[in-house]
Chain A
Amino acid sequence: MAVDTAPTPAPVKLSGRPSVRTLKLAEAIFIPVFALVISALVFSVFLLFLGQSPIDFFSLIWIGGFGSSFSWQQSLQRAAPLILAGLAFAIPARIGLTMIGAEGALVLGGFGAAAIAIPLVTYAVPPLLTLPLMALTAMAVGGVWIGITGWLKHYRGVNETIASLLLSYIAIAIMNFFVEGLLRDPASANKPSTLPIGEAYRIGAMPGTSVHWGLAAGIVLAIVLHILMTRTTFGFAARMTGGNARASQAQGLPVGYLVVTCCVVAGACAGLAGFFEVAAIHGQANASLVAGYGFTGILISFLARHNALAVVPVAILFGAIAAAGGLIQRRMGMPDATVLVLQGIIFVVLLTSESLYGRIKFFQPGPVGERT
C-alpha cells in the first residue's frame, strides 16, 4: 500500500508550478521591465529637481513616439538602424565579446556604400543592380571592420572592447578624410559630403507607410539570426564558447572560426544600417552618419538580454524615445541631451539589476527533488 501511494502526490504538487523554462523566461522579462520602471522613477526625480513635470515628459514620449500613425512611423523609421546596431552588439555578446564598435562599422559601411555608388551612378547602372551592390559593399566593409577586432581578440589576445572603440574613431577619421578630400562633392559647401546618389537611386518607403525598407530588413535579420543562434549547431557552439571558451576549445570546437564569424555577421548588420542611412535617409555620406546609433545599440542589446528577437521591440521603444526627442525639446524647452541622460540612467540601473537574477524566490524552481 505505502509503496503504491507514496509517489502519487508529487505530480499533483508540481502541476501548480510552471516549468523551469517558463520561469527563466518570466525572470528575463520581469527584471529588465522592472529596471525600466525604476529608471523612469529615477529620471522623474531628476526632472522634479529641475522643476519639470515627469508626467508631461512621459506623456510627450507617448504622444511623440506612439500617439498617432505619423509618430508610429517616425518611431519605426528610427528603430530601423537601432535594430541592426542592437544585433551588431548582441551577436558577439552571445559568444562572450563586448564589442562596442558598431558605430564605426555603421559609418564606414555607409561611406563604402556611398563611395561605390559614385561610379555606378555616373555610368547610369540601373538602381536594381546598384542598390544590392551598395548593400553588399556596406555589409562587407562593416563585416571586415568588426571581423578585424574579433580576429585580433582571438589570435592576438587584444582586448576587443577597447580595440573596437579605437577602430570606431579610426573609421570616422577615414570617412572624414575622404569626404573632405578625394570624394568631396564640390557642391557641398557647408557640410562636406560625397556626391548624392540621386532620387532615382533612393530606397523608397514600404507600401502604405513612410517607413523605409531598413525596418523590414532589420526584422528579417533579427529572426534569421535568432534562429541561427538558438536552433543551429553553429549557434549552439557559439553560445557554448560564450559560456566557456577554454572548455569549448578543449572539446574541439573551432573557437577562432566561431568568434570571427560572429564578429563578421555583427559588422555586416552595422554596415547594413549604414547602407540604409545613406540610401534611404541622407542620400550621401557625411558627418550625419555619426549619429550615435551604434552606442544606443549597446544599451538596446543589454536590455534585450542579447536575444536577437527581443532586440526588435526594445529598438522600437528607443526609436520612439528618439522620435519624441524633438517634441520634448520644443514643448519643455529641454536640451537634446535629455535623451542621453535618460539612456544613461536606464543603462546604469539595468546593469545594477543584473544582480537580481537568481535572487527573486518567485522565479526559482523548487528544491532539487521537486524539479520537473
Chain B
Amino acid sequence: MNEGALVTVLIAMLGGAIRVSTPFMFVALGECLTEKSGRINLGLEGNLVLGAMVAYGVSYLSGNPWLGVLAAGSSGLILGAMHGYICKLPKVNDIAVGIAMMSFGTGIAFFFGKPYIQPTAPRLDSIPLGDWTGNSALAQALQVNPLFFVGIALALAMSWAFANTKWGLIVRMTGDSAASARAMGVSVDLVRFLATSAGGFLAGIGGAFLSLYYPGSWNEGLSSGQGLMAVALVIFARWDPIRCIWAALLFGAAGAIGPALQSVGITSGYYFFNAAPYILTLFIMIASARSKAAARDVPGELSITK
C-alpha cells in the first residue's frame, strides 16, 4: 500500500468513525444510564432495530425525518418501559428478559417493516464541516450528522448531571446500593423503571440514525449486534458517559476498516475486516474484565459483574 492509499484509508476511517459511531454512542449512553441505576438491559439491540424500522416508516409516511427520529425514540421508550416493568417483578432475571426483548423487538420490526424495504424515505441532512479544507475526500469525511453533536452534548450533560444533580445522585445511589436507596425513601423500582425507559428512548434514536442516515435504508440485516456491542462498550468505558463517546469512536473506526480498505481496492479478507468490531469488542472485554479500575467504577447492584 503506498502513502496516498494509506491517507485515503485513514480519512475514510475518520469519516467512518464519525458516521458509524453515532448509533453506538446513543445505545451506549442509554445503556450507561440504565446500568448506573443497577440494572442491565441486553435488549437494546431490539430497540435499535425497531427504532430503525419505525424511523424509516414514519419518515416515509410523513416526509419529515425528524418526526421519524422522535417516533423511533418513542418506540424504544415503550420497549424500555416493558423491560423496566417486567424486571421489577420478583424472581425475574434482567439478562434473560433482555434477550427476550431483543427477540420481541426484532420480530415486531421485521413484521411491520416488510412494506418499507423497497421505498425511499426522506433522510436526515448532514452539516458540511469540511468544505474549508479544499480536499474533497476530507470534506466528505467531515459531513457530520447533527445527531452526532446531540450525542456528544448528551454525554456531557449526563456526565455533569450524574456528578452535580440530585437526580444524578439518586440514580447512582440506586445503582450502588438498593438498600441505602430504600433507607433514603427512594423507590428503587421506580428509579430503575425510569432509567430503563429513558435508556430505551436513546437506543431507539440510535436506530433512527441507522436507517435515516448511515447506511440510510431499512432492511432486516441493518443492525448486526451493534446494540449488544454497545453493552460491552459501556463496560469498557467503565460507566462514564464521556468515555462512552471515545469508546464509540473507537468502535466506529474499527467498523469502518472494511469499507475503507474496499475503497482503495483491497477486497480480499472483506469478511475478516467486517468482523473487526466483534473481535475488538471481545479483546476489550477480556482486557477490561477483572481490571482494578473496572471493579472500582462498576455500580454495585449490577448483576453482570456479580
Residues on A facing B (Cβ under 8 Å): 98, 100, 152, 156-159, 161-163, 165-167, 169-170, 173-174, 176-177, 180-181, 295, 298-299, 302, 335, 337-338, 340-345, 347-348, 350-352, 354-355, 357-358
Residue pair B104, A348 in contact (C-beta under 8 Å): yes
Residue pair A337, B111 in contact (C-beta under 8 Å): yes
Specify which chain A residues have a CB less than 8 angstroms from the CB of B272 in the assembled complex. 173, 177
- Whether, in the assembled complex, B129 has its beta carbon less than 8 Å from a beta carbon of chain A, the answer is no
Instruction: Report the Cα distance A252→B33, complex, angstroms.
Output: 39
Per CB-CB distance, the 9 closest pairs between chain A and chain B, nearest first, are A344-B104, A340-B107, A173-B275, A337-B110, A344-B107, A347-B100, A355-B89, A177-B271, A337-B111
Instruction: Report the Cα distance A202→B260, complex, angstroms.
Output: 42
Instruction: Contacts A162-B228, A337-B114, A340-B110 given; indicate if A295 touches B103 (C-beta within 8 A).
Output: yes
Specify which chain A residues have a CB less than 8 angstroms from the CB of B92 in the assembled complex. 351-352, 354-355
Instruction: Report the Cα distance A139→B232, complex, angstroms.
Output: 29
When C-beta atoms are compared, the residue in chain A nearest to B115 turns out to be: A335
Residue pair B282, A344 in contact (C-beta under 8 Å): no
- Whether, in the assembled complex, B304 has its beta carbon less than 8 Å from a beta carbon of chain A, the answer is yes
Specify which chain A residues have a CB less than 8 angstroms from the CB of B224 in the assembled complex. 169
Specify which chain B residues have a CB less than 8 angstroms from the CB of A159 in the assembled complex. 232, 235, 285, 289, 304
Query: Of the candidates A157, A340, A355, which one forms a contact with B91 in the assembled complex, judged by CB atoms under 8 Å apart?
Result: A355
Residue pair A348, B304 in contact (C-beta under 8 Å): no
**Distance of B293 from chain A, by nearest CB (Å):** 14
When C-beta atoms are compared, the residue in chain A nearest to B224 turns out to be: A169
- Number of CB contacts from chain A to chain B under 8 A: 127
Instruction: Report the Cα distance A72→B114, complex, angstroms.
Output: 30
Query: Of the candidates B107, B228, B232, B235, which one forms a contact with A343 in the assembled complex, judged by CB atoms under 8 Å apart?
Result: B107
The interface residues of chain A, by DSSP majority, are classed as: helix
- A-facing residues in B223-250 (Cβ within 8 Å): 224-225, 228-229, 231-232, 235
When C-beta atoms are compared, the residue in chain A nearest to B100 turns out to be: A347
Residue pair A351, B97 in contact (C-beta under 8 Å): yes
Specify which chain A residues have a CB less than 8 angstroms from the CB of B282 in the assembled complex. 163, 166-167, 170
Residue pair B232, A344 in contact (C-beta under 8 Å): no
Specify which chain B residues have a CB less than 8 angstroms from the CB of A170 in the assembled complex. 275, 278-279, 282
Residue pair A166, B229 in contact (C-beta under 8 Å): yes
Specify which chain A residues have a CB less than 8 angstroms from the CB of B82 in the assembled complex. 348
Query: Of the candidates B101, B108, B225, B304, which one forms a contact with A166 in the assembled complex, judged by CB atoms under 8 Å apart?
Result: B225
Specify which chain A residues have a CB less than 8 angstroms from the CB of B106 in the assembled complex. 340, 344
Cβ contacts A to B, 22 pairs, < 8 Å: A156-B289, A159-B235, A159-B289, A161-B99, A166-B285, A169-B224, A170-B278, A170-B282, A173-B274, A176-B271, A177-B271, A180-B271, A295-B103, A335-B114, A337-B110, A337-B111, A340-B111, A342-B107, A347-B100, A347-B103, A348-B101, A354-B89
Instruction: Report the Cα distance A161→B104, complex, angstroms.
Output: 18
- Whether, in the assembled complex, B178 has its beta carbon less than 8 Å from a beta carbon of chain A, the answer is no
Specify which chain A residues have a CB less than 8 angstroms from the CB of B166 in the assembled complex. none
Specify which chain A residues have a CB less than 8 angstroms from the CB of B232 in the assembled complex. 159, 162, 166
- Whether, in the assembled complex, B42 has its beta carbon less than 8 Å from a beta carbon of chain A, the answer is yes
- Whether, in the assembled complex, B264 has its beta carbon less than 8 Å from a beta carbon of chain A, the answer is no
Residue pair A162, B231 in contact (C-beta under 8 Å): yes
**Distance of A266 from chain B, by nearest CB (Å):** 16
Specify which chain A residues have a CB less than 8 angstroms from the CB of B279 in the assembled complex. 170
The residue in B103, B104, B108, B224 that gathers the most chain A C-beta atoms within 10 A of its C-beta is B103
Instruction: Report the Cα distance A342→B268, complex, angstroms.
Output: 40
